[in-house]
Amino acid sequence: MKDNAPKVFLSYDHGQASLVTHIADELMNNGIDVLFDAWDLAPGEDLYRFMESSVNDPEVDYVLIISDGTYKRKADLRDGSGVSTEALILSPKVYGESKKTKFIPIAAELDENNVALMPTFVSSKLYIDFSLSSKSFDDSMEELLRRIYNEPQKRKPALGQKPDFNKKVDVSLIKLQEFSREIEHSRDLNPRHSIHSYRDDFLPEFLTVFNNWLDSSLETDDLFITQNKMLEANKLFIKTTDNIISENDSLPVSVMTSFFFNMLLATDFNSKNNRNTKNIFAELERYIIFLKVASIYLKNNQLVNLKFLLYFEYPIQSNPNYSIFYPREAFRHVEGNSLLPIVNFIEDNMNRQDFHQFIQVDLLLYYIYKIQKQHRFFWYPLFWGKWKKFNLEFPLLNGLFNIDEANRVSKLFNLEDSKQLFVSLNSLEPIHNDRNWEWFIDFPLPKLFFKMPKI
C-alpha cells in the first residue's frame, strides 16, 4: 500500500455485508486503503477497541457510515449492538467535527418517500446514494471516489476581478455571453435548438463583435494590445464552438465555411496595399479562430468535416483553400520579423489542451501543403517548436498502424489509400532552413508519430 494513499474506515450493519464488501474491494482497487473488520479483525480480537481505534486513528482520512433501516434503528435506539456501540463513538465526533468533511454517509436503503434511512447523528449531512434505486453502483462509486480524492465534477470557478464600472460596455459582447449560456443550457435538452441558436444567433453576434473590434483597432498599431481586447470573445467562441461540434455531429460544416467567408469579407483583398492596420489585425484573428475550429474537428475525429473545411474554395484571391487563413502580413508586422512573440502570446492565452491541438493542426496543414505540391496551397507551421512538450501525442498519426484507419486518414490528404499515405508522409523533409539554425534539426516529421507497417 502506498504511504500517501487515502485511508477509510467502514461503519455498517452486517446485513449489508455483500454491498460493503463490494465497496471495499472497489476502494482498494482504486488506491484507497480500507479498514474493514472482515479483513482487519482476527477472531478473538476486541471489536469495540477496533472500532474506537479506527475512528480515532489520525491516519484515517474518512469514515464511511453505510446505513440502511437496520443500521438507523440500532444507532438511534442504542440497543447495545455493534452498530449502536459505533454510534456512541461516532456521534460526538460527528457533532464536534470542525471541518465537517471526515464522515461520509452512504445510503444503502431509502424509505417509501425516497429519503435515505440515516441515523440522527448524520441525518443533516449530504449522502451518497448506493441504494441502486436511482443510479448504478458504478456511478455511485465514481461519486464516492471523487469525494475521497477531492475531484468534484463541478468546481467553484476562480474569483474574478471587480468590474470596471467606468469601462465602456460592449453590448454585442454581452449578447454573445447570453447566447453562449443559452446554447450550453439547451444542448442536452434540445440539441436541435442549440444548433439553430449557434448558427442564427451566436455566430452573427460574434461577427458583430469582430467587426466592432476591427473598427476600434485604428486606435493603436500594437498587435498584441489590440488582440488582448478580443480575448474574452475568443474564449466564448472556442468554448461554445467546442461544445456544439463535440456534442452535435449534425452541425453542417457549411455553417462554419459561411462564417469564415464573412470573416474574410472584413479584409479588403482587392486593395493594392492590404498592409493597413485593420487588415493585419483581421488576419491574425481569423488565423487563431480558423486553427481552433480545425483543431476541434480533428480532436473529435470528424475527418470528413475537417476535409471540407480545409479544401473549401472561397471565391477570393488565388489561394481559395485554407491557405488564405495564413497571416502573412501579420507576421511581417511583428517587430524584427520574429514569430516567437506571436507563439508565446497565443500559448499564454490558451489552456494546455487547446494549445496541444493547435500544434497538431498546424503541423497537419503543413504536411498537407507539402504533399499537395500545388501553388494553391501554402502553410508554414508556427507552433512546431513547442511539440516536445507533449510526448509525441498526435492521435491522428499515432493510430496509423491500423490499416483501416490509415485508409480513412489518406482521404484527408487527397490520397488514394494507406500505401500512398505512408509513402508520402515518409518522404517529407524537414522544414526549409535557409539560416542554418541548429534547432531546425528537431522539426517533427510525420514518421516520428507512427509505426510504419509493412506494405
Contact 37, 85 (CB under 8 A): no
Contacts of 276 (CB under 8 A, 6+ apart): 268
Exposed, middle or buried: residue 213 (CB in 10 Å: 0-12, 13-18, 19+)? buried
Q: Any idea which residue has 480524492 for its cell?
A: 149
H-helix segments, 229-337: 231-247, 253-264, 277-299, 303-311, 328-333
Query: CA 116, CA 118: separation in Å to the nearest integer?
Result: 6
Q: Which three-class secondary structure state does DSSP give residue 369?
A: helix
Q: Where is mean pLDDT largest: 135-144, 153-162, 186-195, 238-247?
A: 135-144
Q: Mean pLDDT over residues 163-185, rounded?
A: 78
Read off the pLDDT band of 319 (50, 70, 90): low
Q: Mean pLDDT over residues 219-245, rounded?
A: 80
CA-CA-CA-CA torsion sign (204, 207, 211, 216) = positive
For residue 225, pLDDT beyond 90: no
Distances (CA, A) of 132 to 30, 136, 416: 21, 6, 52
Give the per-residue pLDDT at 272.
46
For residue 410, pLDDT beyond 70: yes
Contact 131, 109 (CB under 8 A): yes
